[in-house]
Structure 1
Amino acid sequence: MKKILIFISLVLVVIFLAYQFGLVDLLTDITKLRMYLENLGWWGYFIFIMLSIIVAVFLLPGQFLAIVGGLAYGGFIGGLLTVIGASIGASISFVIGKYVARDYILQRFSQEPAFQKIEQGVRENGLSFLIFTRLVPIFPFAIQSYAYAMTPMSVKKFSFISCLTMIPASFIYAFMASEIASKGVSVTLLLELTAAGVLLALLAYLPKKISKKINQLSTEYKKVK
Structure 2
Amino acid sequence: MKKILAFIVIFVLVIFLAYQFGFVDFLTDIAGLRAYLENLGWVGYLIFILLSVVVAVFLLPGQFLAIVGGLAYGGLLGGTLTIIGASLGASISFIIGKYVARDYILRRFGNDATFQKIEKGVSENGISFLIFTRLVPIFPYAIQSYAYAMTPMSVKKFSLISFATMMPASFIYAFMASEIVSKGVSLTLLLELTAAGALLALLAYLPKRFSKKIKQLNSEYKKE
Alignment partner, residue 187 of structure 1:
187
Alignment partner, residue 33 of structure 1:
33
Instruction: State the alpha-carbon separation in 1 of the partners of residues 138 and 201 from structure 2.
Output: 13
SS of aligned partner of 2:213: helix
- Within 5 A, what are the aligned runs for 1:1-225? 1-224=1-224
Instruction: State the alpha-carbon separation in 2 of the partners of residues 117 and 217 from structure 1.
Output: 26
Deviations 1:163-211, CA, capped at 9 Å, x for gaps: 0000000000000000001100000000000000000000000010011
Structure 1: give runs of 5+ residues left out of the alignment.
none
Q: What displacement does 1:14 show?
A: 1.2
Instruction: State the alpha-carbon separation in 1 of the partners of residues 151 and 39 from structure 2.
Output: 42
Q: What displacement does 1:220 show?
A: 2.3
Q: What displacement does 1:17 show?
A: 2.3
Q: What displacement does 1:218 show?
A: 1.8
TM (normalized to structure 2)? 0.98
Higher mean displacement: 51-60 or 208-217? 208-217
Instruction: State the alpha-carbon separation in 2 of the partners of residues 118 and 100 from structure 1.
Output: 20
Q: How many equivalent pairs are there? A: 224
Amino acid at match of 1:142: A
Deviations 1:39-94, CA, capped at 9 Å, x for gaps: 00000000000000000000000000000000000001000001000000000000
Instruction: State the alpha-carbon separation in 2 of the partners of residues 169 and 86 from structure 1.
Output: 11
What is the RMSD computed on CA atoms of the aligned residues? 0.8
TM (normalized to structure 1)? 0.98
Instruction: State the alpha-carbon separation in 2 of the partners of residues 53 and 157 from structure 1.
Output: 19
